[in-house]
Every structure is written in C-alpha cells, then in structure tokens.
Amino acid sequence: MPRVAYLTHADCAKHDVGPWHPESPERVQAVDAALRAAPWFGELLAIEAPYATPEQLARAHTQAHVDAVRAAVPEQGVTWLDPDTGLTPHSWHAACAAAGAAVRAVDTVMAGAAQRAFCNVRPPGHHAEADRAMGFCLFNNAAVGIHHALAVHGLARVALVDFDVHHGNGSEDIFRGETRVLLLSSFRHPFYPHSGVQPHAGYVPVPLPAGADGRRFRETVERDVLPGLDAFRPELICVSAGFDAHRDDPLGGLNLLEDDYAWITRTLCALADRHAQGRLVSVLEGGYDLGALGRSAAAHVEAMR
C-alpha cells in the first residue's frame, strides 16, 4: 500500500488573476516540480482530484455563498470579490478541484488506500468563511473535506491543524460551535486578517510574534498544541499547510525553515499513528517564494512517508 497519496488537478494552474498577484499558478507548479524531483516521488499514489459537488461545498458554506461565487465568474477578464480575491473564467473549476481534492483525500485515507494524503491545490482556502470569500480564498478546501468526513464517514473527532503564517479565520468561522472538530491555528500576530487570538471551545490560537524562528515555533507547539491534540484523540488529522512562515517568504515575516515543517509533520503523523490509524490529510494553503515553497512542501511530504 502506498503510504502517501498525492492529489492535484491541472485546473488549479488556470486560475490566474494577473502576473502581479502573489497567489499565482506557478505555486502549484513549483510544488509539483519539487515533488517530482524527489527520489521517492514514484512511491506516491497519484490521484487526479475530482470537482467538489455543490452539495459538498454547501456542507461548509452557505448555499447563498456557493451560488454567489458561481454567478460572479466572468466570461472574460477578472471580477474582484475583494481587493485580494479575484475570479476568472477558470476560477470555478479550479476552486471545485481544490475542494474536491480534500474530499477525495479523505475518502482515500478512510478507505485505507493510503495512510496520508497531500493536496497540491489552489486557490487556497483557510480565509474563506461560511458566507464570504476573502484573502485569495473562494471555498475553504480543508473545511469541505472535514465536513465530508463528518457527514459521510461518520467521524466523531477531527482535528484541523493550521500552520500558515496567517490566522485561519475562515476555518474558525465555519467550525465555531462544532464539537466534533478541534482547530489549532498558529499564525503571526498582529498580522492579516487581524483576528483569532481569543480561544474558545474547539479552538486553540497559537499567535507568534514577528520574527519568530523555528525554535520558538517548536516550543510553542509543544506547549500549546500537542497536549490538547493528544487529549482530543482525533480519528483524523487534517492540516492547512501554509508555507509562508518560511524565512524567505515575501509576505510572512517569520523565520521557519524546511526542517521546521518536517518536524511538525513528523509530530502530527506520530499523533495520527497513535489515535487515527495513521490517517492525515494535508491541503496546501500559503507560500509565495517559489523556491522556499517547493522545498518546504517536499520536506512536508517526505516526512509523511
């Protein structure tokens, strides 16, 4: 059995709002190239992501939001939903493929076809709230996958660990009050979207100051994340894998390195082995220096093996 599944879709590179935008098609291409260059790439179970259905999207989002995104897709050019978040003629299919990858990844690990899965997809998702697109995100890919795990596979405890440099406000919004989901989000603070520092039931914020390095990140995770995650005993661990906390990232302002991403991945895989039969699904979020993104994603996937 392949230990790690790799999911992507060609449509994820077709969502392109302009050459100036940091959330570019080259991101998934850089990750794909870095993975294919690894000597272990042939061991991965390669899967073409399907499109998420409107029903699957509407488990995480309001039907009005799903309908509004679809209706706003232009026949040509770019339609802006906010100053950062645009739609092109290809964006609907790209967004459905990104969310569909998370759904298929959940099905893959639940069926035992692989123990872990990594979704190399865009647009990213963790800023998309139940009824609002924002921060480059149209639909919350990880949340769509988790709701699928709850509704279709009947899981009672799913953990979502978000280590993007930005707070996953969309995930916090979608899962607020959902007792079956524990969200743990590390992020630079203060920073966009200027939210997320207040803990509440089912949510553990892990704010980091500007300039924090890997040592600070690891110490904070060991103190504030791992005990609660272990006590929760998740049946599935999902990851919003943002690599924009890397030292080389132009948007981030933190100082993590590839080894730090490998460390958090190994740590989460060990937790998955203890509580979730090894089941872990990771979905790409941020990361805007192409070299650092590719290297970090490769370190992340290698640590899943």
Q: Which residues are marked as active site?
A: 127
**DSSP-assigned letters across all residues of 253-278:** --BB-HHHHHHHHHHHHHHHHHHSTT
Cα atoms in the 13 Å half-sphere on the side-chain side of 246: 26
Q: Which DSSP category does 288 fall into?
A: -
Are 246 and 110 in contact by the 8 Å Cβ rule? The answer is no
Residue 70 token pair: 């679809």
Q: Alpha-carbon distance 231 to 176, whole Å? A: 19
DSSP H/E element including 131: none
Shortest CA distance to 241 belongs to which of 70, 157, 117? 117
Give yes or no for a contact between 197 and 238, defined as CB atoms under 8 angstroms apart.
no
Given a contact cutoff of 8 angstroms between Cβ atoms, the answer to whether 101 and 281 are in contact is no
Q: For residues 258 and 270, what is the distance between their CA atoms, to the nearest angstrom?
A: 18
Q: What is the DSSP string of 227-252?
A: HHHHHH--SEEEEEE--TTBTT-TTT
Element (H, E) at 112: none
DSSP secondary structure code for residue 220 in this structure: H
